[in-house]
Amino acid sequence: MREAAIAPERCALCDRPLGTRTEWHHPVPRSQGGRETVPVHPICHRTIHATFSNHELARTFPDLDAVRAHPEIGRFLRWVSDKPADFHAPTRRRAS
C-alpha cells in the first residue's frame, strides 16, 4: 500500500524522477485481487494499460520486471528515458 508520509521520488516503471503528477498503479489489478500500489508517471501508467489487459497483468505480468521485459514496453522505455518528468503525449493502444 501507499506510504502516506514518504513522497515517492522515482517512477516504478521507468525510474525517471516523478513530476507534479503521480498516479498509483496496481501491478496486480484490483479487479484481480491486487492490493499493492506503486508510483508511476501518468504516461507510464497509460502505456501499461494500453499494452496489457487486466487479465494479462494479473496472470503473465504481475511484477514490473516482467512488464519492462516486454518488447513494446522496452521500446517505450527507451523513447521516454530522456523526456522531462511531466512530459505528456497521446498514448496509443495496441492493435487488437
Range of the domain at 55: 23-80
10-40: pLDDT as tens digits: 999 999 999 999 999 999 888 888 899 999 9
Count how many domains the chain has.
Answer: 1
Instruction: Kindly tell me if the per-residue pLDDT of 49 is higher than 80.
Output: yes
In a domain, 6, yes or no: no
Instruction: Kindly tell me if the per-residue pLDDT of 55 is higher than 70.
Output: yes
In a domain, 33, yes or no: yes
* Closest of 36, 39, 46 to residue 72, by C-alpha: 46
User: pTM for this one?
Assistant: 0.84
In a domain, 8, yes or no: no
In a domain, 87, yes or no: no
With beta carbons less than 8 A apart as the criterion, state whether 66 and 51 touch: no
